Amino acid sequence: MKNAMILILIPLALGATMAAPAAATEIDALGVYFDSQVYQNALCGVEANVQIPVYIILVDAAAPVKGLEFSYSIANATATVLRLVTTTALPRYTVEDNDPLDGSYHLMAETPLPASSAMVLVQWTLMFTAFDEHGVYYLRGVDAPSLPGDYPVVDGGSGYGLRRVGVSSGHLDAPVAFNGCSPLAVDVTSFGGVKNLFR
């Protein structure tokens, strides 16, 4: 009876663990990426005076997007950051505190963009004036949001309305992108240790 109970509990525990989505694959997650296909959110050091494309992307949009409001910040950068170009997928927009390190956007379109798996909503071209491997990028809501809360807000248009969206890191206090090779040390023996638990 005891063995039968353990056999029932193990699949339940594993199922609960596997049911939780990874932060980067949440539905409606806004993130900062260095490519338009959402593969790269880290740069292995940023060389001086090199133009870097940076994309603000809504990953796995749950509904169309007619408007977006969010704020951004780049912290811990050891060099001056220049924003050379800004383009948006939503033609009408206002930028508050138009500083490359800290500011916010309010974007709007006449007709909603259809939902997709990787919606590039804003593209910047940044340039650091010296080598940098410490800059971290954060996204959050604006100071006076259309919906209460600290997360970015999307307007889906008629029939969809306003909705809060998450950030790709899963939490507002965790950076969504960074200049550096790896944010965390990786223990190469950790998977072997997990396998040993089941032997």
Mean pLDDT of the chain: 80
Res 26: pLDDT: 67
Res 188: pLDDT: 36
Give me the amino acid identity at 143. D
* Structural domains of the chain, count: 1
Res 91: pLDDT: 82
- 121 inside domain: yes
What's 76's domain CATH number? 2.60.40.680
- 136 inside domain: yes
Angle ∠(10,171,184) on CA atoms, nearest 5: 75
User: 58 Cβ partners below 8 Å, 6+ apart?
Assistant: 28, 29, 30, 65, 68, 118, 119, 121, 154, 165
**139 touches 167 (CB < 8 A):** yes
Annotate 74-110 with b (16+ C-beta within 10 A) or e (fewer): beebebebebeeeebbbeebeeeeeebeebbbbbbbe
**74 touches 101 (CB < 8 A):** yes
Q: What is the pLDDT of residues 155-187, one digit of tens each?
A: 999 999 999 999 999 999 999 999 887 654 333
Q: pTM for this one?
A: 0.77
Taking residues 192-198, report their average pLDDT: 44
Nearest to 137 by CA among 154, 149, 122: 122
- 199 inside domain: no
Residue 190 in this model has a pLDDT that exceeds 50: no
pLDDT band at 27 (very low <50, low <70, confident <90, very high): confident
Q: Which has more pLDDT, 12 or 20?
A: 12
Q: Which residue segment(s) compose the domain that 64 sits in?
A: 25-173
141: tokens are: 């809501």
For residue 88, the cross-strand partners are 122
Res 94: pLDDT: 76
Q: What is the pLDDT of residues 68-91, one digit of tens each?
A: 999 999 999 888 888 888 888 888
- 117 inside domain: yes
